[in-house]
Structure 1
């Protein structure tokens, strides 16, 4: 351990590459630990559409379970890097002070949606059509909210059309 633990946040829309980049970055950095937002059962808005219509207050998400795990590592100073697969960058007050540097992977929405389909293969055309309908009714608005709020909040915006290797290299160059 060479000193202070650096906490890195990786944000992007769903399907934007957060998890893949987080894992690859952890492989490239020495003594790194990852935390993935989706691994936690967090209290937050039950209706994302209504949440966005009310102004998308990121503080309505209780990220205490993640914070407990992060603070445990920070207090013990056992890792050089903590990498967060975390969609909110600095927008949640519980988390913002612990993050040292935030990256937003700017992935075009069509690529992100295609990745979601590939990641969770659907079995019938009806399921594909249903997912497309959900995207058009609500999902697209969530993607646009991320671009409007999270993207400008990050320290660095990385081109999500690059390969994972190039994205990780761009992040490493900023660190």
Structure 2
């Protein structure tokens, strides 16, 4: 009693529309005795202007992840085998990086990620609204996507091609976890 290993914490990162949530859900379903935490379930204090934040060096520690960290610490005390984090930062945030055992970056081509995002987020919007969003992406927002490629991708333990099927990606991650 008392010598149960702590859960393995697996972080899933990628750009918006890259498949983080889909892969995190699939992985959570496939892994035995696991729970999941979603970044989007929290209202974090952080930079007001993401593009300005990127242009100023993208200091990930400017985000207050304490609510997520608190929930993660609670789960770490439970008799779980795995905890899946749908978290875009991988190891780049000093406080949460200490709690992550394995970081995966879903490397989805930016055109696919953008198409998924438009389908997901703009179903009930006018064509004009979608065009405005595309103009915003080209003039500024793309820099946020490129920041992920520059800093999160190389700081991950595993990079998975986001154009593969969900089951292929999930199987590859599970295989990598079992090898650890």
State TM-score, norm by structure 2.
0.94
d(CA) in 2 for partners of 1:164, 1:73: 26
SS state at 1:79 partner: coil
Task: Output aligned runs, 1:137-152, within 5 Å.
Answer: 137-152=139-154
| Secondary structure of residue in 1 paired with 2:5 | coil
Deviations 1:105-145 (A, max 9, x none): 00000000000011121431111111101111222100000
2:71 partner SS: helix
Aligned match for 2:53, one of 47, 51, 54: 51
Shift of 1:31: 0.9
Moved over 2 A (4+): none
2:165 match: 163
Where does the alignment leave 5 or more consecutive residues of structure 1 unmatched?
Answer: none
State how 1:107-126 maps to structure 2 within 5 Å: 107-120=108-121, 121-126=123-128
> Is the Cα contact below 8 Å between 1:73 and 1:79 reproduced in 2?
yes
Alpha-carbon RMSD: 1.2
In 2, Cα distance between the equivalents of 1:122 and 1:78? 43
Is the 8 Å Cα contact of residues 122 and 128 (structure 1) preserved in structure 2?
no
**TM-score between both structures, scaled by the size of structure 1:** 0.96
